[in-house]
Amino acid sequence: MSATTARRAVIKGTGSALPRTRVSNEQLSERVDTTDEWIVERTGIRFRHIAEDDETTSSLATLSAKEALAAAEMTPADIDLIVVATATPDQTFPATATIVQNDLGCNGCVAFDVAAVCSGFLYALSVAESMIRAGSAQNAIVIGAETFSRILDWEDRATCVLFGDGAGAVILSGEETDKGVLATRLHADGAHNQLLYVDGGAGTTGTVGKLRMKGREVFRHAVVNLSSVLIEALEAAGETSDNIDWVVPHQANARILDATAKKLGLDPAKVIKTVDQHANTSAASVPLALDAAVRDGRIKRDDLLVLEAMGGGFTWGASVIRY
Protein backbone atom coordinates (compact mmCIF):
# COMPACT_ATOMS: atom_id res chain seq x y z
CA MET A 1 0.00 0.00 0.00
CA SER A 2 1.29 3.45 -0.81
CA ALA A 3 1.27 6.08 1.97
CA THR A 4 -0.33 9.51 1.48
CA THR A 5 1.90 12.45 0.59
CA ALA A 6 2.91 14.51 3.62
CA ARG A 7 5.95 16.17 5.17
CA ARG A 8 8.12 13.20 6.10
CA ALA A 9 11.73 12.43 7.02
CA VAL A 10 13.58 10.65 4.22
CA ILE A 11 16.92 8.82 4.57
CA LYS A 12 19.29 10.62 2.18
CA GLY A 13 22.49 8.76 3.07
CA THR A 14 24.03 6.25 5.48
CA GLY A 15 27.51 5.78 6.93
CA SER A 16 29.41 3.71 9.44
CA ALA A 17 32.70 3.43 11.30
CA LEU A 18 34.39 0.56 13.11
CA PRO A 19 37.50 0.61 15.30
CA ARG A 20 40.72 -0.49 13.55
CA THR A 21 41.18 -3.59 15.71
CA ARG A 22 39.08 -6.65 14.91
CA VAL A 23 39.09 -9.45 17.49
CA SER A 24 38.07 -13.02 16.61
CA ASN A 25 36.56 -15.49 19.07
CA GLU A 26 39.86 -17.40 18.92
CA GLN A 27 41.81 -14.30 19.96
CA LEU A 28 39.29 -13.60 22.73
CA SER A 29 39.68 -17.14 24.07
CA GLU A 30 43.34 -16.35 24.82
CA ARG A 31 42.27 -13.85 27.52
CA VAL A 32 38.78 -15.12 28.50
CA ASP A 33 37.72 -18.67 29.52
CA THR A 34 35.63 -19.34 26.41
CA THR A 35 35.73 -21.05 23.01
CA ASP A 36 34.91 -20.11 19.42
CA GLU A 37 32.47 -23.04 19.35
CA TRP A 38 30.49 -21.84 22.43
CA ILE A 39 30.22 -18.25 21.17
CA VAL A 40 29.20 -19.20 17.62
CA GLU A 41 26.66 -21.79 18.74
CA ARG A 42 24.97 -19.58 21.38
CA THR A 43 25.18 -16.20 19.64
CA GLY A 44 26.34 -16.43 16.00
CA ILE A 45 29.12 -13.93 16.82
CA ARG A 46 32.52 -14.49 15.14
CA PHE A 47 34.22 -11.08 15.36
CA ARG A 48 33.89 -7.76 17.18
CA HIS A 49 35.82 -4.50 16.77
CA ILE A 50 37.40 -3.07 19.94
CA ALA A 51 38.38 0.60 20.27
CA GLU A 52 42.04 1.50 20.82
CA ASP A 53 42.94 4.29 23.29
CA ASP A 54 42.73 6.97 20.59
CA GLU A 55 39.28 5.82 19.40
CA THR A 56 36.24 7.18 21.26
CA THR A 57 32.48 7.15 20.88
CA SER A 58 32.64 10.68 19.44
CA SER A 59 35.49 9.92 17.02
CA LEU A 60 33.65 6.88 15.63
CA ALA A 61 30.40 8.89 15.51
CA THR A 62 32.08 11.70 13.57
CA LEU A 63 33.59 9.28 11.03
CA SER A 64 30.21 7.63 10.44
CA ALA A 65 28.55 11.06 10.08
CA LYS A 66 31.12 12.15 7.48
CA GLU A 67 30.47 9.00 5.47
CA ALA A 68 26.70 9.54 5.65
CA LEU A 69 27.07 13.19 4.58
CA ALA A 70 29.16 12.11 1.57
CA ALA A 71 26.55 9.49 0.62
CA ALA A 72 23.81 12.15 0.86
CA GLU A 73 25.96 14.61 -1.15
CA MET A 74 25.61 17.14 1.64
CA THR A 75 28.03 19.15 3.80
CA PRO A 76 28.01 19.93 7.55
CA ALA A 77 26.70 23.42 6.67
CA ASP A 78 23.42 21.81 5.50
CA ILE A 79 22.78 20.25 8.94
CA ASP A 80 20.53 21.85 11.57
CA LEU A 81 20.10 18.92 14.00
CA ILE A 82 22.45 16.24 15.40
CA VAL A 83 21.10 13.47 17.65
CA VAL A 84 23.53 10.88 19.03
CA ALA A 85 22.20 7.72 20.64
CA THR A 86 24.74 6.33 23.08
CA ALA A 87 25.08 4.67 26.47
CA THR A 88 28.85 5.18 26.39
CA PRO A 89 29.34 8.96 25.97
CA ASP A 90 32.92 10.27 25.92
CA GLN A 91 32.17 12.09 29.18
CA THR A 92 29.16 12.32 31.52
CA PHE A 93 28.71 15.75 29.98
CA PRO A 94 28.82 17.58 27.57
CA ALA A 95 26.62 15.55 25.24
CA THR A 96 28.65 13.55 22.72
CA ALA A 97 26.55 15.19 19.98
CA THR A 98 28.17 18.54 20.79
CA ILE A 99 31.66 17.01 20.38
CA VAL A 100 30.61 15.53 17.03
CA GLN A 101 29.14 18.88 16.01
CA ASN A 102 32.39 20.70 16.79
CA ASP A 103 34.46 18.05 14.97
CA LEU A 104 32.21 18.34 11.89
CA GLY A 105 32.27 22.14 12.10
CA CYS A 106 28.53 22.85 12.04
CA ASN A 107 28.56 24.79 15.31
CA GLY A 108 25.32 26.50 16.23
CA CYS A 109 22.83 23.82 15.21
CA VAL A 110 20.79 21.77 17.72
CA ALA A 111 22.83 18.86 19.16
CA PHE A 112 21.97 16.46 21.98
CA ASP A 113 22.21 12.81 23.06
CA VAL A 114 19.49 10.22 23.60
CA ALA A 115 19.96 7.36 26.09
CA ALA A 116 17.92 4.23 25.41
CA VAL A 117 20.83 1.75 25.24
CA CYS A 118 20.36 -0.81 22.43
CA SER A 119 17.10 0.85 21.30
CA GLY A 120 18.83 4.23 21.29
CA PHE A 121 18.99 4.55 17.51
CA LEU A 122 15.22 3.92 17.19
CA TYR A 123 14.54 6.54 19.87
CA ALA A 124 16.94 9.04 18.25
CA LEU A 125 15.43 8.43 14.81
CA SER A 126 11.95 9.01 16.21
CA VAL A 127 12.95 12.29 17.92
CA ALA A 128 14.68 13.62 14.79
CA GLU A 129 11.85 12.49 12.54
CA SER A 130 9.25 14.16 14.78
CA MET A 131 11.22 17.44 14.75
CA ILE A 132 11.47 17.27 10.95
CA ARG A 133 7.75 16.56 10.56
CA ALA A 134 6.96 19.44 12.93
CA GLY A 135 9.08 21.76 10.79
CA SER A 136 11.63 22.55 13.54
CA ALA A 137 14.44 20.79 11.65
CA GLN A 138 15.18 20.24 7.94
CA ASN A 139 18.35 18.11 7.70
CA ALA A 140 19.38 15.91 10.62
CA ILE A 141 22.26 13.55 11.35
CA VAL A 142 21.09 10.66 13.51
CA ILE A 143 23.92 8.56 14.93
CA GLY A 144 24.17 5.43 17.05
CA ALA A 145 27.68 5.20 18.52
CA GLU A 146 29.17 3.08 21.30
CA THR A 147 32.40 1.93 22.93
CA PHE A 148 30.87 -0.83 25.06
CA SER A 149 34.31 -2.45 25.46
CA ARG A 150 34.96 0.24 28.10
CA ILE A 151 32.02 -0.82 30.32
CA LEU A 152 32.50 -4.60 30.02
CA ASP A 153 33.66 -6.74 32.91
CA TRP A 154 36.41 -8.69 31.12
CA GLU A 155 36.27 -11.27 33.97
CA ASP A 156 32.61 -12.09 33.17
CA ARG A 157 32.65 -14.46 30.19
CA ALA A 158 28.84 -14.51 30.01
CA THR A 159 28.78 -10.85 28.91
CA CYS A 160 32.21 -9.73 27.63
CA VAL A 161 32.13 -12.01 24.57
CA LEU A 162 28.82 -10.54 23.36
CA PHE A 163 29.62 -6.88 22.67
CA GLY A 164 31.69 -4.72 20.32
CA ASP A 165 32.31 -1.07 19.42
CA GLY A 166 31.25 1.00 16.40
CA ALA A 167 29.06 3.75 14.98
CA GLY A 168 26.43 4.15 12.27
CA ALA A 169 24.73 7.27 10.96
CA VAL A 170 21.89 8.37 8.70
CA ILE A 171 21.04 11.75 7.18
CA LEU A 172 17.32 12.54 7.41
CA SER A 173 15.77 15.33 5.35
CA GLY A 174 12.26 16.80 5.34
CA GLU A 175 10.34 16.40 2.05
CA GLU A 176 6.74 16.37 0.79
CA THR A 177 6.58 12.70 -0.14
CA ASP A 178 4.87 9.33 0.28
CA LYS A 179 8.26 7.82 1.24
CA GLY A 180 10.57 8.03 4.27
CA VAL A 181 9.68 7.17 7.86
CA LEU A 182 6.05 6.01 7.71
CA ALA A 183 5.48 4.99 11.34
CA THR A 184 7.47 4.37 14.52
CA ARG A 185 6.39 2.76 17.79
CA LEU A 186 8.49 2.96 20.97
CA HIS A 187 8.08 1.38 24.42
CA ALA A 188 9.84 1.21 27.77
CA ASP A 189 9.27 -0.83 30.93
CA GLY A 190 11.45 0.12 33.89
CA ALA A 191 10.26 -2.90 35.90
CA HIS A 192 13.04 -4.82 34.14
CA ASN A 193 15.89 -2.43 34.97
CA GLN A 194 17.77 -5.11 36.90
CA LEU A 195 17.97 -7.63 34.06
CA LEU A 196 20.38 -5.49 31.99
CA TYR A 197 22.16 -2.52 33.57
CA VAL A 198 25.47 -0.91 34.49
CA ASP A 199 26.41 -1.11 38.19
CA GLY A 200 27.61 2.49 38.48
CA GLY A 201 26.83 6.02 37.42
CA ALA A 202 27.59 9.71 37.91
CA GLY A 203 24.63 10.22 40.24
CA THR A 204 25.11 7.12 42.42
CA THR A 205 28.57 5.57 42.75
CA GLY A 206 30.41 8.39 41.02
CA THR A 207 32.02 5.73 38.82
CA VAL A 208 31.21 4.52 35.32
CA GLY A 209 30.40 0.93 36.36
CA LYS A 210 30.32 -2.36 34.45
CA LEU A 211 27.60 -4.02 32.38
CA ARG A 212 25.55 -6.72 34.17
CA MET A 213 23.00 -8.96 32.45
CA LYS A 214 20.72 -11.90 33.14
CA GLY A 215 21.03 -13.22 29.59
CA ARG A 216 18.34 -15.87 29.66
CA GLU A 217 15.59 -13.55 30.89
CA VAL A 218 16.62 -10.83 28.43
CA PHE A 219 16.42 -13.34 25.59
CA ARG A 220 12.86 -14.36 26.52
CA HIS A 221 11.58 -10.76 26.73
CA ALA A 222 13.41 -9.76 23.52
CA VAL A 223 11.59 -12.21 21.25
CA VAL A 224 8.14 -11.31 22.67
CA ASN A 225 8.67 -7.53 22.68
CA LEU A 226 10.31 -7.34 19.24
CA SER A 227 7.59 -9.41 17.58
CA SER A 228 4.77 -7.34 19.07
CA VAL A 229 6.28 -3.90 18.36
CA LEU A 230 7.09 -4.91 14.79
CA ILE A 231 3.45 -5.81 14.16
CA GLU A 232 2.30 -2.62 15.92
CA ALA A 233 4.52 -0.40 13.74
CA LEU A 234 3.47 -2.21 10.55
CA GLU A 235 -0.22 -1.70 11.42
CA ALA A 236 0.43 2.00 12.13
CA ALA A 237 2.02 2.29 8.68
CA GLY A 238 -0.90 0.45 7.02
CA GLU A 239 1.45 -2.34 5.92
CA THR A 240 1.61 -6.11 6.42
CA SER A 241 4.59 -8.38 7.01
CA ASP A 242 4.18 -9.81 3.46
CA ASN A 243 5.19 -6.40 2.05
CA ILE A 244 8.47 -6.16 4.00
CA ASP A 245 11.56 -6.19 1.78
CA TRP A 246 14.11 -6.06 4.63
CA VAL A 247 14.10 -6.28 8.40
CA VAL A 248 17.06 -4.39 9.87
CA PRO A 249 17.17 -5.60 13.46
CA HIS A 250 19.30 -4.83 16.48
CA GLN A 251 22.18 -7.31 16.28
CA ALA A 252 22.34 -8.87 19.76
CA ASN A 253 22.25 -12.55 18.99
CA ALA A 254 21.58 -14.60 15.84
CA ARG A 255 19.23 -16.85 17.82
CA ILE A 256 17.05 -13.84 18.79
CA LEU A 257 16.91 -12.81 15.12
CA ASP A 258 15.94 -16.32 14.02
CA ALA A 259 13.35 -16.79 16.79
CA THR A 260 11.74 -13.39 16.06
CA ALA A 261 11.60 -14.08 12.30
CA LYS A 262 10.05 -17.50 12.96
CA LYS A 263 7.44 -16.10 15.38
CA LEU A 264 6.37 -13.57 12.71
CA GLY A 265 6.55 -16.04 9.80
CA LEU A 266 9.20 -13.88 8.08
CA ASP A 267 11.63 -15.26 5.51
CA PRO A 268 15.03 -15.36 7.36
CA ALA A 269 16.68 -14.31 4.05
CA LYS A 270 14.97 -10.89 4.46
CA VAL A 271 16.63 -10.28 7.84
CA ILE A 272 19.90 -8.33 7.63
CA LYS A 273 22.48 -10.04 9.84
CA THR A 274 25.79 -8.44 10.81
CA VAL A 275 26.02 -9.85 14.34
CA ASP A 276 28.65 -12.36 13.13
CA GLN A 277 30.98 -9.50 12.13
CA HIS A 278 30.19 -6.78 14.70
CA ALA A 279 28.73 -8.57 17.77
CA ASN A 280 26.30 -6.42 19.79
CA THR A 281 27.24 -2.76 19.33
CA SER A 282 24.16 -1.49 21.22
CA ALA A 283 22.82 1.76 19.67
CA ALA A 284 25.24 1.43 16.74
CA SER A 285 24.00 -1.96 15.60
CA VAL A 286 20.90 -0.97 13.58
CA PRO A 287 22.60 1.84 11.58
CA LEU A 288 25.70 -0.35 11.07
CA ALA A 289 23.52 -3.13 9.64
CA LEU A 290 21.53 -0.64 7.54
CA ASP A 291 24.69 0.89 6.06
CA ALA A 292 26.18 -2.54 5.29
CA ALA A 293 23.06 -3.61 3.36
CA VAL A 294 22.74 -0.26 1.53
CA ARG A 295 26.40 -0.37 0.45
CA ASP A 296 26.36 -3.99 -0.72
CA GLY A 297 23.26 -3.27 -2.82
CA ARG A 298 20.71 -5.42 -1.00
CA ILE A 299 18.64 -2.45 0.18
CA LYS A 300 17.42 -0.39 -2.78
CA ARG A 301 15.39 2.80 -3.14
CA ASP A 302 11.63 2.21 -2.60
CA ASP A 303 12.22 -0.95 -0.53
CA LEU A 304 10.02 -1.30 2.55
CA LEU A 305 12.22 -1.57 5.65
CA VAL A 306 11.44 -2.37 9.25
CA LEU A 307 14.08 -1.30 11.79
CA GLU A 308 13.69 -2.80 15.26
CA ALA A 309 15.59 -2.96 18.54
CA MET A 310 15.34 -3.87 22.21
CA GLY A 311 17.68 -3.01 25.05
CA GLY A 312 18.27 -2.14 28.69
CA GLY A 313 15.42 -0.52 30.60
CA PHE A 314 13.82 -2.39 28.96
CA THR A 315 13.30 -0.17 25.96
CA TRP A 316 12.15 -1.36 22.55
CA GLY A 317 10.80 -0.03 19.29
CA ALA A 318 10.29 -0.46 15.56
CA SER A 319 10.17 1.91 12.60
CA VAL A 320 8.66 1.27 9.17
CA ILE A 321 10.46 3.14 6.40
CA ARG A 322 9.93 3.37 2.63
CA TYR A 323 13.63 3.78 1.72
Does the footprint of ligand COA cover residue 174 (CB under 6 A)?
A: no
Amino acid at site 269 = A
Does the footprint of ligand COA cover residue 161 (CB under 6 A)?
A: yes
Measured CA to CA, the distance from residue 265 to residue 267 in angstroms comes to: 7
Position among 76, 94, 209, 215 found at the interface with ligand COA (CB under 6 A): 215
> Is there a catalytic annotation at residue 280?
yes
- The least distance separating ligand COA from the CB of residue 142, rounded to whole angstroms, comes to 19
Position among 218, 254, 279, 286 found at the interface with ligand COA (CB under 6 A): 218
Binding residues for ligand COA, how many (CB under 6 A)?
A: 21
> Is there a catalytic annotation at residue 250?
yes
How far apart, in Å, are the Cα atoms of 150 and each of 15, 113, 179, 201, 285? 23, 19, 39, 14, 17
- The least distance separating ligand COA from the CB of residue 36, rounded to whole angstroms, comes to 10
DSSP at 242? G
- The least distance separating ligand COA from the CB of residue 260, rounded to whole angstroms, comes to 12
Q: What is the contact mask toward ligand COA in residues 267 to 286, using x (rule: CB under 6 A)?
A: -------------x------
> Is there a catalytic annotation at residue 139?
no
Position among 46, 112, 133, 219 found at the interface with ligand COA (CB under 6 A): 219
Q: What does the angle CA 66 – CA 67 – CA 69 come to, to the nearest 5 degrees?
A: 65
Q: What does the angle CA 138 – CA 294 – CA 11 come to, to the nearest 5 degrees?
A: 10
User: Angle of helix 57-71 relative to helix 96-104, nearest 10 degrees?
Assistant: 50
Does the footprint of ligand COA cover residue 118 (CB under 6 A)?
A: yes
3-state secondary structure of 208: coil
Nearer to ligand COA, 256 or 290 (CB): 256
- The least distance separating ligand COA from the CB of residue 34, rounded to whole angstroms, comes to 3
Residue 43 CB partners (closer than 8 Å, separation 6+): 161, 162, 253, 254, 255, 275, 279
Cβ-closest position to ligand COA: 215
Gyration radius from the chain CA atoms: 18
Cis before residue 163, ω within 30 degrees of 0?
A: no
| Residue 280 · residue 257 · CB < 8 Å | no
Position among 3, 38, 153, 224 found at the interface with ligand COA (CB under 6 A): 38
Between β-strands 110-114 and 81-85, what pairing exists: parallel, antiparallel or unpaired?
Answer: parallel
Choose, from 109, 118, 139, 253, the residue flagged as catalytic: 118
Contacting range for ligand COA; rule: CB under 6 A; set: 88-96, 127-135, 154-162, 200-208: 154-162
Q: Write out the residues near ligand COA by the rule CB under 6 A.
A: 34, 38-39, 42-43, 118, 157-158, 161, 213, 215-216, 218-219, 222, 252-253, 256, 280, 310-311
Return the active site residues.
118, 250, 280
